[in-house]
Structure 1
Amino acid sequence: GFIGYMIQQSFVNELRAAGLSNEVATVVTQVVVSEEDPAFANPTKPIGPFYSEGEARQIMTAKGFVMKEDAGRGWRRVVPSPDPQEILEKNVIATLVKNDVIVVASGGGGIPVVRKQGRIAGVEAVIDKDLAGQRLALDVQADTFVILTDVQQVALNYGQPNQTFISEMTLAEAKRYQPEKHFKAGSMGPKVQAAVRFVETGGKRAIIGSLAQVEAALQGKAGTIITH
């Protein structure tokens, strides 16, 4: 909610400074996941503060949390990262968009929930924000899905002497590159995965690029564009 408030306020201030009267709304977003998702048997997403090993073991005993060492920096709680199945507020968001409202939604991947006996219940998990964005784009029938990051384009052999930036990828090429481990998990990996899913399930195109070049990317002049 707090991040949504900040983004919404920034949008409004910039729009008014530009002489535009568009309305902006933040929607608290619930994302349905499956209780049968294998991620629940293998928590991997670190959250919260760092602890010493001794503190972590005390927490595991007292609260039953799963704690793991995080890159040598200390111990943290880890929670599941299940696959997003549906955006509950998709119809509300679609209605707002059709009425020219700029919508801020699925912040941080949204709030994970499961369906139980006709009711909705929250679960302790974190949904990947790129995959949640893809699910939202699909649910509101968007034709273009844009992922903005801190690099200008997707690269093969990133950080290596033979690094090569890519301006365009077909769906087949992207799927071929994925198992070759060009795209790191937790970084570019989920972004490419989300882009592939979007195009694969009916989206017209997905774009991965930098915020500074978003206008050029939408014009097909920047970023990496993934199509059929």
Structure 2
Amino acid sequence: MRIVLALGGNALLARGQALTAENQRQNIQKAAESIAAIAQNNEIIVVHGNGPQVGMLMEQNAVYHSSSPETTPYPMDVLGAETCGMVGYMLQQEIKNIDNSLNIATIVTQTIVSSDDPAFSNPTKFVGPIYNSEDAANIMMNSDKIFKADGNNFRRVVPSPQPKDIVELNQVETLLNAGNIVIACGGGGVPVEVKDGKYTGIECVIDKDLTAELLAEKLNAEMFIILTDGSVYKDFGQETQQEMKIATPQGLSEFDFPAGSMGPKIDAVCKFVNSMKGDAAIGSLFDLNGIIGHQSGTLITKGEGIQYYQ
């Protein structure tokens, strides 16, 4: 079965965890175990997030610029490309360490967006470390950065436009057909726009779940799985919360999911199911076998209504 896995940046780096290489590698080792366990019997494409990672590079940019004003900060498209190399390298190495018979390739991919996208006037994509309300307010007062609530904390938000196309799609298909696990479109892909036939980077972060869905459609994947903290819930975080076992695009349309977190994931899985290519799922990275076997996570499929775990 051809499966596109969308691996959240927060699954690779736990919420509130220090942004160290050691912490990332430890989490990536766990991710690699789950991926390697299903790789022998399936074609796997991995799309990883980069919110914490690109946010860290942005912070490092700012610190370096303060001590060396002539060194202008690198733009977000370049930082995104850096995270593709960093996370891709760790993933492919750790998957190989678990099963040396597997072939893994990481490819830096460009994703086309439009500078006219309305997302540029309403930033929603979380990047970087968490802050308390006081620190976030102080930063906003002294810069052009925008922060929004992420649970009980605050994180910076940047524009997240819709992905239009994937420049290196043919190369991804070639690597996949050659028997590789392919790590592609990291962080949603490096954001670019096309003007006068030329590609140029653009300042934003594309939601990796939406790019992963686009990739799944274009590669004719049979299943699209978003791996995050867990399943989809009704009334998440409240005493009345219920874990969804099976959901449909129609059923999910009756709920209001947060734009900066679960909302794009729901949009992505519903779009894939509505494309009639196959089913989708949302669940924990560490329940991947169970998700594929419909024993854990939330399966999104055609039909009506919602079924809950008992």
TM category, shorter: 0.7 to 0.9
Structure 2 CA distance for aligned equivalents of residues 82 and 28 of structure 1 = 19
Q: TM-score, normalised by structure 1?
A: 0.83
1:89 maps to which of 156, 168, 180: 168
Q: Does 1:28 align with 2:28?
A: no
In the TM superposition, what is the alpha-carbon distance from 1:107 to its structure 2 partner?
1.4
Structure 2 Cα separation of the partners of residues 173 and 74 of structure 1: 30
What is the aligned counterpart of 2:274 among 200, 213, 222? Answer: 200
Question: Counterpart of 2:159?
Answer: 80
Percent identical among aligned pairs is 42
Q: Work out the CA distance in 1 between the residues paired with 2:145 and 2:168.
A: 33
- What aligned pairs does 1:36-185 form with structure 2 within 5 A after superposition? 36-45=116-125, 47=127, 59=143, 66-71=144-149, 78-151=157-230, 153-175=231-253, 177=254, 180-181=255-256, 183-185=257-259
Displacement of 1:158: 0.9
Q: Shift in Å at residue 52 of structure 1?
A: 7.3
User: Are residues 1:10 and 2:88 paired?
Assistant: no
- Aligned twin of 2:34: none
Unaligned runs of 5+ in 2: 1-84, 303-310
Report which stretch shifted further, 42-51 or 162-171. Answer: 42-51
Q: What CA distance in whole angstroms lies between the structure 1 residues aligned with 2:240 and 2:121? A: 38
Q: Is the 8 A contact 1:87 1:139 kept in 2?
A: no
For residues 150 and 48 of structure 1, the distance between their equivalents in structure 2, rounded to whole angstroms, comes to 18
Give the root-mean-square deviation of aligned CA atoms: 2.3
The one-letter amino acid paired with 1:215 is N
TM-score (norm 2): 0.62
CA 1:187–1:57: 2 relative to 1, 3 Å: closer
Distance 1:161 1:75, change over 3 A: closer
Q: Which residue of 2 aligns with 1:214?
A: 288
Say if 1:23 and 1:100, in contact at 8 Å, map to a contact too: yes
The 3 A distance-change label for structure 1 pair 222 and 75 is closer
Tell me the residue number matched to 2:17: none
- Is the Cα–Cα contact under 8 Å of residues 139 and 145 in structure 2 kept in the other structure? no
Q: Secondary structure at the match of 2:97?
A: helix
Query: Contact (CA 8 Å) 1:148, 1:208: kept in 2 or not?
Result: yes
